[in-house]
Amino acid sequence: MALIVGAIIWHRGQEPRISEPADGWPEKERAAFIDSCVKSCRAAPGVTPDRYPLCDQACKCGADEGDKIVNGQELVEIYRAMQSGKPTEEQNDKLEKMKAAGVACASLGAGDKK
């Protein structure tokens, strides 16, 4: 969950702005999600520089899968709910699905490294 939480809170206290249709993640938010996810992943205990490409791959895959789970507007709504400490059960369910997608992506990438 920490990876997803860290990746969603990418604006460092600023409200995200949706500038594109709500049917997909706006490019700016997608890039920020991936950047934050990669930074969180690389800073995780036990992650060494030789594993950084796995973080990159898992975060890009996680964004691809997350985009299938929540649209751009839902992503912003989840961000706001998390900031207020009041995500709904549905939002928590979607966060769990996004987390599972990210873990699956990381697992697939880890298999490639063996």
pLDDT value at residue 39: 93
Instruction: Give average pLDDT by consecutive 10-residue segment, the chain, 114 residues.
Output: 47 44 74 88 94 90 90 86 91 87 77 50
Beta strands in 1-114 (DSSP E): none
Rounded to an integer, what distance in angstroms lies between the CA atom of residue 102 and that of residue 60? Answer: 9
pLDDT value at residue 21: 44
Q: Would you list the domain boundaries of the chain?
A: 2-10+21-113
For 11, the token pair is: 């604006």
pLDDT value at residue 46: 93
The residue written with tokens 């996810």 in the block is 37
Q: What is the pTM of this model?
A: 0.68
Nearest to 41 by CA among 50, 52, 30: 52
Rounded to the nearest 10 degrees, the angle between the axes of helix 89-113 and helix 72-84 is 110
Nearest to 94 by CA among 26, 8, 31: 8
